[in-house]
A and B are shown apart, each in its own frame.
Chain A
């Protein structure tokens, strides 16, 4: 089954404790992206990757890191989480990120206390 998986689905952590949210896709997509969803703000793009070893900032990259060492994986790293990063996070993938639709993972609900 074609899918994007994220782990964990739910995470409660404390300020400053480094964490990683994993994302994996099995569709051989070139493009992957991370978003956060906050009430009244829609989805905002954090980082995206057009291909292996190529990453670029989205609209809200501060406080986040990503890497794309393999085509199928695109982890999101919060090195020192803060309460304002409490949000619902989605990973997505696409053939090209322009003309083709994105396939979204189920989401990771992160709470930073």
Chain B
């Protein structure tokens, strides 16, 4: 079956530091890839997505590129802010088993002033 592996957390950074959260996946066919963010006490919300190889998703300074050759979708941001503190989830939706979604375990990011 499909699987998503995220880099283990938690991650603690100082404000303005560079962020990378690694995400690799295993899936048949050509899945769509997503990053979701969860703030304390809330549901998940979409951060960015990519639906085919070499696509780059971007939003609010975050970026991730769909790399089929390395089955990866790493999340990056050049300069984090305290307000970026949250839990980040990498996820995939497969087109060969439409409807099934697989999420990573989540990475908790804390940004200190």
Please determine whether B45 and A97 come into contact, CB atoms closer than 8 angstroms.
Answer: no
CB contact list, B77-110 vs A, under 8 A: 89, 91, 93-95, 98-106
* A50 at interface, CB cutoff 8 A: yes
Please determine whether A102 and B105 come into contact, CB atoms closer than 8 angstroms.
Answer: no
Please determine whether A102 and B103 come into contact, CB atoms closer than 8 angstroms.
Answer: no
CB contact list, A66-113 vs B, under 8 A: 90, 92, 96-99, 101-107
Please determine whether B89 and A106 come into contact, CB atoms closer than 8 angstroms.
Answer: no
User: B-contacting residues of A (Cβ < 8 Å)?
Assistant: 4, 31, 33, 35, 40-45, 48-50, 56, 58-59, 90, 92, 96-99, 101-107
* B69 at interface, CB cutoff 8 A: no
For the complex, would chain A's binding face be called helix, strand, loop or mixed by DSSP majority?
A: strand
Q: 14 interchain pairs (CB within 8 A)?
A: A31-B99, A40-B105, A44-B103, A45-B102, A48-B99, A50-B98, A59-B1, A97-B93, A97-B101, A98-B94, A99-B93, A103-B45, A103-B46, A106-B42
CA separation between A41 and B104, bound complex, in Å?
8
In the complex formed, the residue of A with least CB distance to B94 is: A98
B-chain residues with CB within 8 Å of residue A41 when the two chains form the complex: 105
CA separation between A42 and B36, bound complex, in Å?
12
* A31 CB to nearest chain B CB (Å): 7
* B25 at interface, CB cutoff 8 A: no
